[in-house]
């Protein structure tokens, strides 16, 4: 995430440097030993040794594809040593995340290309979205966002488009394209200034060739950095998770995205949410818990109406997580470390319903109530 253009000021990511421990972390079916069972996806993407903001999907040929930002720091603008700045790098795994290929450059334009996400579309193409920063010498904060872009591959990632398509000049992305049951593509967006910030969703009815004007999600007066992610619920509604200041928020659409409810806060904080439907219709929501300095997740057994207690994934603060279901039904989650020499990590777990009926609520979606499932942390490859 980064501030909108120049008038937005400094990126909230860059402001949130000092950590304070707030509250009590709840460990669900979790142990110290299990917490160490992570593996590196990549430790050097070839652009300065800092890797961040990963995303993962399964490709049509059965491999896993992880994309991520590679640069020399959290923001890697073009300079003398790195004249093209940060890039979009990627790795493949042919063994369900046990080992990963050497990184390769997926896209490297003239600016700092960042925050990539990748989707395997039903038509066979791979679609990678990202946004870019450009230098603004002498004008603070020293960079401006040029827009959100899309590149695709029609050959399982062997080659990618070299000319990106502009999705939006004024809204930015952190989450992947979601392909809906009606065939449309949905992409969560966000925009912000020093005075206001909110989420939005844009849709494409022609496979990503063109995109509609973003549909703003009413913030209800909240300042929502958003980093919007969207999931389609079984009854047809769309659910959006939104980063906020302090507590994060949510919104739903009952008309396929034409309008959205006024955002309401969850009962818990979170940055850069990622929504994933696991086997058994368990919806997982992974995120960064910045105040506690960790990567966490919660789950819902009732289509996002209520959410579990917090489950710590790892005690690193980078997050910007992504998840994919492995062939054995377990889940692989990727995220990043943050700090100098930041790397991409992965962990594996299995989640299943524990036979306890989730709490029901007449209030609506997004409530914090105890629903129960079993989470088992597993060693990758076993």
Domain of residue 182, CATH code: 2.120.10.10
12's enclosing H/E stretch is helix 12-15
E runs forming strands in 46-123: 50-58, 64-71, 87-93, 104-107, 112-120
pLDDT at 64 over 50: yes
Q: Are 332 and 346 in contact (CB under 8 A)?
A: yes
Residues contacting residue 319 through CB under 8 Å, at least 6 positions apart:
271, 272, 286, 287, 288, 289, 295, 335, 336
- pLDDT, residue 36, reads 56
- pLDDT, residue 27, reads 31
Q: Are 286 and 272 in contact (CB under 8 A)?
A: no
Question: What confidence category does residue 369 fall into, taking pLDDT thresholds of 50, 70 and 90?
Answer: low
- pLDDT, residue 354, reads 78
Domain of residue 229 covers 12-378
- Residue 17 exposed, middle or buried by CB count within 10 Å (0-12, 13-18, 19+): exposed
- pLDDT, residue 18, reads 25
Domain count, the chain: 1
- pLDDT, residue 140, reads 87
Kindly tell me the sign of the dihedral angle through the C-alpha atoms of 362, 365, 370, 373. positive
Nearest to 140 by CA among 11, 241, 245: 11
pLDDT at 85 over 60: yes
Instruction: Tell me how far apart the terminal alpha carbons of the chain are, to the nearest angstrom.
Output: 35
268's enclosing H/E stretch is strand 264-269
Q: Is residue 205 part of a domain?
A: yes
pLDDT at 238 over 90: yes
Nearest to 187 by CA among 122, 243, 126, 257: 257
pLDDT digits (tens, 9 = 90+) for 18-33: 222 222 222 333 333 3
pLDDT digits (tens, 9 = 90+) for 325-351: 999 999 999 999 999 999 999 999 999
Reduced to 3 states (helix: H, G, I; strand: E, B; else coil), residue 33 is: helix
pLDDT at 375 over 70: yes
Question: What confidence category does residue 367 fall into, taking pLDDT thresholds of 50, 70 and 90?
Answer: low
Residue 30 bridge partners (DSSP): none
Tokens encoding 380: 């990758």
How many C-beta atoms surround the C-beta of residue 221 within 10 A? 9
Q: Is residue 234 part of a domain?
A: yes
Higher-pLDDT residue of 140 and 126 is: 126
58-94 as b/e, with b when 16 or more CB fall inside 10 Å? bbeeebbbbbbbbbbebbbbbeeebebbbbbbbbbbe
Q: Is residue 179 part of a domain?
A: yes
Per-residue pLDDT averaged across 99-109, rounded?
Answer: 98
Q: Is residue 90 part of a domain?
A: yes
Q: Is residue 6 part of a domain?
A: no
Question: What confidence category does residue 374 fall into, taking pLDDT thresholds of 50, 70 and 90?
Answer: confident
E runs forming strands in 108-244: 112-120, 126-135, 143-153, 165-168, 178-179, 185-192, 197-204, 215-216, 226-232, 238-243
pLDDT at 12 over 80: no
Q: Is residue 266 part of a domain?
A: yes
Q: Is residue 1 part of a domain?
A: no
- pLDDT, residue 381, reads 80
What CA–CA distance (Å, rounded) separates 90 from 113? Answer: 13
Q: Is residue 5 part of a domain?
A: no
Reduced to 3 states (helix: H, G, I; strand: E, B; else coil), residue 172 is: strand
């Amino acid at each position: 995430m980064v501030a909108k253009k120049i008038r937005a000021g400094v990126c909230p990511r860059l402001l949130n440097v000092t950590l304070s421990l707030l509250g009590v972390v709840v460990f669900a079916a979790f142990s110290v030993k299990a917490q160490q069972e992570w593996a590196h996806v990549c430790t050097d993407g070839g652009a300065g040794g800092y890797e961040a903001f990963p995303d993962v999907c399964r490709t049509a040929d059965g491999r896993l594809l992880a994309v991520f930002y590679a640069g020399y720091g959290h923001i890697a603008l073009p300079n003398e040593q790195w004249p093209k700045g940060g890039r979009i790098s990627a790795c493949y795994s042919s063994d369900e995340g046990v080992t990963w290929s050497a990184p390769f450059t997926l896209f490297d334009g003239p600016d700092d290309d960042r925050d990539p996400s990748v989707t395997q579309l039903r038509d066979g193409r791979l679609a990678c979205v990202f946004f870019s920063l450009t230098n603004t010498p002498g004008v603070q904060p020293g960079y401006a966002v040029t827009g959100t872009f899309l590149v695709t591959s029609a050959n399982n990632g062997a080659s990618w488009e070299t000319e990106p398509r502009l999705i939006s000049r004024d809204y930015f992305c952190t989450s992947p394209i979601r392909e809906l049951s009606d065939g449309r593509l949905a992409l969560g967006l966000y925009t912000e200034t020093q005075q206001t910030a909110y989420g939005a969703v844009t849709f494409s009815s022609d496979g990503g060739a063109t995109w509609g004007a973003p549909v703003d999600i009413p913030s209800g007066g909240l300042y929502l950095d958003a980093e919007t992610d969207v999931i389609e619920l079984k009854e047809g509604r769309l659910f959006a998770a939104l980063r906020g200041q302090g507590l994060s928020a949510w919104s739903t659409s009952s008309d396929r995205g034409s309008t959205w409810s006024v955002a309401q806060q969850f009962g818990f904080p979170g940055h850069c949410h990622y929504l994933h439907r696991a086997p058994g219709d368990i919806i997982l929501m992974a995120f960064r818990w910045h105040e506690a300095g960790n990567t966490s997740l919660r789950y819902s057994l009732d289509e996002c109406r209520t959410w579990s207690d917090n489950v710590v994934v790892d005690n690193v603060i980078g997050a910007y997580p992504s998840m994919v279901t492995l062939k054995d039904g377990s889940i692989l989650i990727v995220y990043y470390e943050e700090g100098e020499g930041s790397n991409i990590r992965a962990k594996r777990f299995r989640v299943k319903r524990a036979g306890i009926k989730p709490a029901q609520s007449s209030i609506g979606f997004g409530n914090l109530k105890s629903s129960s499932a079993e989470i088992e942390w597993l060693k990758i490859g076993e």
